[in-house]
Amino acid sequence: MTIKFWPTLQLVACVRIAQGIIYSFDLEHLKRSLLGGLQNTEYIEPITKKILEIVLPAYCARFSHLTAARKNTEEVKIVPLPPQVKKKLGGIIFSLGLEIKLWYECHRFIEHKFNLDLRNKLSWFSFGVIDRLETARNFIQDEAFDIGVRFHLACKYCLDDDVQMLWRKMSIADRINAMRRIPRTRSIDLYIQSLRRKRPRNWTEISRNERHKFFLGNCLGIRSYFTKLRFPVVRYHCILIALGSGMAHQYDLYSCISLLNAAELNSMLSRFPTPELCEIFKTFLRWPFQIMFLDLVHNFQQHINKDIFYCVVTFILNYKLGMGFEDHMYIEIFERFWNLFSAKYEDSFKKDVALSALAKYVLESSKDYDARQYRYLVNLYFPD
C-alpha cells in the first residue's frame, strides 16, 4: 500500500473561494494578527460577514433541450450558501490563515526589515497549502530583494543551482556579510565547501557519510534533496529525523512518504519508534490530509497500539477540536477511530479523567455538537 493524496473538486473549489476572502484583507497586517492566535484575531468577524454575504444564483426556468437559454432575468433567484458549506468555508479559511501563520513563523529570518509582499510572493497548491519551495523561488528570483537573504533561502531550501548562481553574483563583501549572518549548520558548511572548491555537492558521499547533523535543522529543503538520497536506510533516517524535529511541514513529509514504494513504506513504519510513528498519524490529521486519515488507519492499523491510540485521540480532542477545527470532519473522524479501537484500549484511556470527559461529550453530542460548549469543557479541564 502506497500513500497518495487526491483532493476532490469540491475541496479545490472551496479553497479558491476561501483564498479570495483571505486575499481581500491586507496580508501584511493579517499575518501579524494571526501570530496572536487564530481564535482571538480581529478578522474573525469580518471573515464571517463575508461568508454570510456569499449567495448563489438559482435558475427556475424549465428547459426543453440542453441548449435552451433563460428567457428573462426575473427567473433568477438568489439563495444563500447551505449552512454546511458556510461551515466548511469557515474551517478552510481558518486553515489557510494557519498556513500563513506557520509560513511566517518559519521564515522570521527574512522578515525583520523587509516588506515581504506576501500577496504576490506566496504560491499555493490548489488544495490550500502554501507551496513553500515555489514561494522560496519567488523570493530568490526577485533581484530587488537583498542578495544575502536570497542566498540564505536558496541554502535553506537546498536549491543547488540557485546557491551557485547567487554565489557567483555576490561581491566579496556580500559573501563575507552572508557568512557572518547565516547560522551555520552541517548543510550550510557543505555548501560553503562545495562553493570554494567550485564543484557541486556530491550526493553519493552525503548519502553515505552524513546522517543526523545534515538532516537536523534542514527540514525546509527536504523536498529538494529527498529524491537525491541514494539508499533506503538514508531515506529512513531523513524522515525519522524530520518527524522527531517537529519542524517539517505536513505537505513536505507527505511528498517524501508518497515517493516510497509499498515495501519500503511498510518497512519504515515497522521500524519507527512510537513517538515518530505517532507523528506520522498526526501528519495525516493536519490540513488537508484529514480527508484520507481513516483510509490510512484502515490500511496500517496493524501499527496502531495503545500508545498510538492515546496519541491520536489526545491530538484530536486537545488540538483539532480544542482549537475549533470541528468543521473539518474531525468529529466523524474521532467517532470512527474510537469505534475501531476503543474495545481494546478504552479501559486504560479512562484513567485520564479529563480526556475521558471530552471524549464522552464528543461521542454523545456528535449530532448536535456545540463548539462553544466543547471549548468551555477544554478550559475547565485544562485551564492552562
**Residue range 146-197, pLDDT digits in tens:** 999 999 999 999 999 999 999 999 999 999 999 898 988 899 999 999 998 8
- pLDDT at res. 66: 44
Distances 119 to 25, 109, 231, 327 between C-alpha atoms, Å? 10, 19, 40, 26
Residue matched to cell numbers 455538537: 369
- pLDDT at res. 67: 46
- pLDDT at res. 76: 58
Q: What is the mean pLDDT of residues 354-380?
A: 89
Q: Is the per-residue pLDDT at 44 higher than 80?
A: no
**Are the beta carbons of 324 and 39 closer than 8 angstroms?**
yes
The type of residue at 263 is A
Q: Which residue has the higher pLDDT, 104 or 38?
A: 104
Distance between CA atoms of 84 and 197, rounded to whole angstroms? 60
**Dihedral, CA of residue 20, residue 24, residue 26 and residue 31, to nearest 10:** -40
- pLDDT at res. 303: 93
Q: Which residue has the higher pLDDT, 87 or 12?
A: 12
Distance between CA atoms of 218 and 187, rounded to whole angstroms? 7
Which are the contacts of 236, defined by CB distance < 8 A and separation ≥ 6? 267, 268, 271
Q: Which residue has the higher pLDDT, 293 or 50?
A: 293
Among 49-53, 68-72, 154-158, 221-225, where is mean pLDDT lowest?
68-72
What percentage of residues in the chain have a pLDDT greater than 90?
A: 53
- pLDDT at res. 212: 82
The CA-to-CA distance between both ends of the chain, in Å, stands at 41
- pLDDT at res. 43: 72
The pLDDT mean for the chain works out to 87
Q: Which residue has the higher pLDDT, 74 or 363?
A: 363
For residue 33, name the pLDDT band (cuts at 50, 70, 90). Answer: low
- pLDDT at res. 40: 54
Distance between CA atoms of 147 and 153, rounded to whole angstroms? 10
- pLDDT at res. 370: 86
- Element containing residue 56 per DSSP (H, E): strand 55-59
Q: Which residue has the higher pLDDT, 10 or 326?
A: 10
- pLDDT at res. 65: 47
Encode pLDDT of 237-292 as tens digits.
Answer: 999 999 999 899 999 999 999 999 999 999 999 999 999 999 999 999 999 999 99
